[in-house]
Amino acid sequence: MIAEAEKYLKEYFGYVQFRRGQKNIIEKVFEKQRVLGVMPTGGGKSLCYQIPSLLLDGLTVVISPLISLMKDQVDEINEAGIPATYINSSLTYEETEQCMKDLQNGEYRLLYLAPERLEHQAFLHKIKKVPISLIAIDEAHCLSQWGHDFRPSYLTIPRFLDFAGRNISVLALTATATPQVSADISRALSISEDNVILTGFKRENLTFSVIKGQDRDSYLTDYIKKHREQAGIVYAATRKEVERLHHKFTNENIKAEKYHGGMTAENRAVGQERFVYDESNVMVATTAFGMGINKSNVRFVLHAQMPRNIESYYQEAGRAGRDGSESDCILFFSPKDIHTHQYLIEQSRLDEPRKEMEYNKLRQMVNYCHTEDCLQNYILKYFGEEPKDTCGTCLHCTDDRSLKDATTEAQMVFSCVKRMRERYGKTLVSQVLTGSSNQKLRQLRLDTLSTYGLLKDQSQKQVNEFIDFLLAHQYLQLIEGAYPVLKLTNRALHVLKGKQKVKKKETLKAKNVDKENPLF
């Protein structure tokens, strides 16, 4: 059957061979197994069920949360010559009825469904009459409470699988699964460990950078102007910020579109179309934009604000370079963004353990912005991989500043944290170290500590940045809560005992504040 699948790959899609993971997944699907495929964005997940849908006897059902995109997805597949349809809340009763009849008559190979539909008794009653061969679950991380995008409606899927019967292949797909999330999905869907197929998260053609301490608007504008011939996405955190940046770019004669939830569906569609068909250079959008948009020649994804976790960041940044050509992923970091996310988590209705998890994810996102290690590897490790080599292309891999020994400085910070009994946050620690005359500090008698003023030749900002570096490199950890508190890790204890050294890149200037940045 796999030989036939290869034939169809050429016939229907015009591709010469399967990509990593695709063949393995498809083989298991043919064997009527339950499989979880974890592939990066742009890795070619859809083909893993589209091709089997042509070869299996019964219908392939695809469960997807992206109602607004279903029509586009289905149109695209129909264009490739595969008869497909969808059922969701945008259809009228009559349209749904007609669709069910056509399905019963075997007119379609593929059916796209929103998970909510699995709770409709009338639907279940009718679909029971249609032989199903494969159930594919797109964005399967939505099943996990530990994922970044948990959707309660996904919890109906295991019941639907039971309902559909035993002799059916099940294929769960996601681009963003930490080991914990992947274990969660496997448990919920009874997928054995051998059937979890990871193709690796590495995206060789993406160049990652984090930019700090620069004027964001002028950097963005300059960057886009220097890449006028290319397509790119600028992600902003809020609708207001999308509007502001869009206005600014348009004033600078940049051909820009915008996309956010506050616009009418029609206006969004017009802008999206112009961007997809290369009539515009840039799309300025909130995170609402991008899921399921199959534009392969996006050459850059710029984040004007930091997303709230690595999963979201990698998913959004991963929309660059789906065609395999070199592309840039640049993230602007401003400490303000941390507070915004903290506020949103605090205000959310999540229970305490879940809030803690969100804080933890946010912390790892912040650490990404402060690490000096390979940025691609930082992400890969986050997803549980153990990369052997560095990427060689990210901002840090190409940063040729030499390393300096920062052990003594680090020891000063650690002993200060220790003397403060690991009960205070970053601001107070850096105030003590720089010998601040702040009143609160005096009230707490922290000015009597032997570490008071040890780093008085540095500004508080510099010491703060150094603490961020120590956090990112796991010498310190921040215990979140209403007042986040700094604590020492075992690594810091080794440094204090003189058993380990701390090395840091020279100063913080060089490339990321250099106007002649090679990213341009």
Q: Within a 13 Å sphere around the CA of 219, how many CA atoms are in the beta-carbon half?
A: 23
CB 315 to ligand ADP: min, Å = 9
Select the residue whose beta carbon is closest to ligand ADP and give its number: 44
Q: Six-digit token pair at 224?
A: 């886009």
Cβ proximity to ligand ADP, 294 vs 507, nearer residue: 294
DSSP assignment of 318-339 equals: TTTTTTSS-EEEEEEE-HHHHH
- Using CB under 6 A, which of 18, 154, 300, 333 touches ligand ADP? 18
**By rule CB under 6 A, what string of x and - marks binding of each residue 318-357 to ligand ADP?**
----x-----------------------------------
Cβ proximity to ligand ADP, 296 vs 474, nearer residue: 296
DSSP assignment of 25-92 equals: HHHHHHTT-EEEEE--TTS--THHHHHHHHHSSSEEEEE-S-HHHHHHHHHHHHHTT--EEEESTTS-
Asked if 227 touches ligand ADP (CB under 6 A), the answer is no
- Strands 231-235 and 298-303 come out as parallel
* Cβ pair 139, 149 in contact under 8 A: yes
Q: Between 239-251 and 216-226, two packed helices, what is the crossing angle to 10 degrees?
A: 50
Range 489-518, binding ligand ADP (CB under 6 A): none
- Using CB under 6 A, which of 19, 151, 212, 248 touches ligand ADP? 19
CB 391 to ligand ADP: min, Å = 20
Chain-centroid distance of CA 279 in Å reads 27
CB 344 to ligand ADP: min, Å = 27
* Cβ pair 20, 154 in contact under 8 A: no
User: Which stretch, 18-26, 213-221, 475-483, 509-517, contacts ligand ADP (CB under 6 A)?
Assistant: 18-26
Cβ proximity to ligand ADP, 12 vs 150, nearer residue: 12
Range 28-87, binding ligand ADP (CB under 6 A): 39, 41-47
Cβ proximity to ligand ADP, 41 vs 169, nearer residue: 41
User: Which stretch, 16-24, 102-110, 193-201, 278-286, contacts ligand ADP (CB under 6 A)?
Assistant: 16-24
* Cβ pair 141, 36 in contact under 8 A: no
CB 203 to ligand ADP: min, Å = 11
**How far is residue 290's CA from residue 66's CA, in Å, rounded to a whole number?**
11
Pure H helices in 118-234: 121-127, 157-164, 179-189, 216-226
Chain-centroid distance of CA 119 in Å reads 29
Cβ proximity to ligand ADP, 70 vs 103, nearer residue: 70
- Using CB under 6 A, which of 294, 408, 474, 490 touches ligand ADP? 294
CB 68 to ligand ADP: min, Å = 16
Nearest to 463 by CA among 510, 414, 422, 501: 414
CB 319 to ligand ADP: min, Å = 9
Number of chain residues interacting with ligand ADP (CB under 6 A): 15
Nearest to 53 by CA among 98, 87, 84: 84
CB 148 to ligand ADP: min, Å = 16
Q: Six-digit token pair at 90?
A: 């945008």
Cβ proximity to ligand ADP, 176 vs 434, nearer residue: 176
Q: Six-digit token pair at 137?
A: 């679950």
- Using CB under 6 A, which of 98, 192, 296, 507 touches ligand ADP? 296
Tell me which residues touch ligand ADP (CB under 6 A). Answer: 15, 18-19, 22, 39, 41-47, 294, 296, 322
